[in-house]
Each structure stands twice: as C-alpha cells, then as structure tokens.
C-alpha cells in the first residue's frame, strides 16, 4: 500500500502525516508513507488545497485533516 501526504510543509500537513502514521500503527497495517512537498507533483493530483491524502493513487481528502476513523476506513477500503 502506498500513501502520500501532499503539502508544502504547513502545520496541517505535518499533522496529517502524524495522524496517518498513528492510524497505521493502531490498525496494524504496514504501508509506505511518502511526504510530497514539491508543488509540481502536488498539482498533478488536482487538489485545490493542502494538505491532501492519496492512498494507492486515489485522492481521499484535501484541505483538511480528517479523523483517524476516516483515515482507517480509507486504508481498509484500499486493502480489499
């Protein structure tokens, strides 16, 4: 599983990365988590605001930090 946190390094971007890592630990899932800070790469995902969360190539959310419950649900959906 590949997870990307999109954001130039703002407070919410760091918070989203922390929440993703904590969620993975809580649910016992191993995944590659990449922090993408390059604006050209971020723009390829057509998100309007950062932070953004991409799981297995699919944009799940942008512009906010979702709850761990939502993050866990999206991760589990991508495992099916």
Question: Radius of gyration (Cα) for the chain, nearest Å?
Answer: 11
Catalytic residue among 3, 5, 6, 13: 13
Residue 10 bears catalytic tag: yes
Catalytic residue among 1, 2, 10, 26: 10
Residues 13/50, Cβ–Cβ less than 8 Å: yes
Q: Which residues contact 29 (CB under 8 A, 6 or more apart)?
A: 1, 75, 79
Which residues are identified as catalytic?
10, 13
């Amino acid at each position: 599983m590949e997870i990307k946190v999109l954001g130039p390094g703002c407070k919410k971007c760091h918070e989203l990365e922390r929440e993703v890592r904590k969620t993975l630990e809580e649910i016992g899932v191993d995944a590659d988590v990449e922090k993408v800070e390059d604006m050209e790469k971020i723009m390829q995902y057509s998100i309007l605001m950062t932070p953004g969360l991409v799981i297995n190539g699919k944009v799940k959310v942008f512009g906010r930090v979702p709850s761990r419950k939502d993050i866990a649900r999206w991760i589990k959906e991508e495992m099916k």
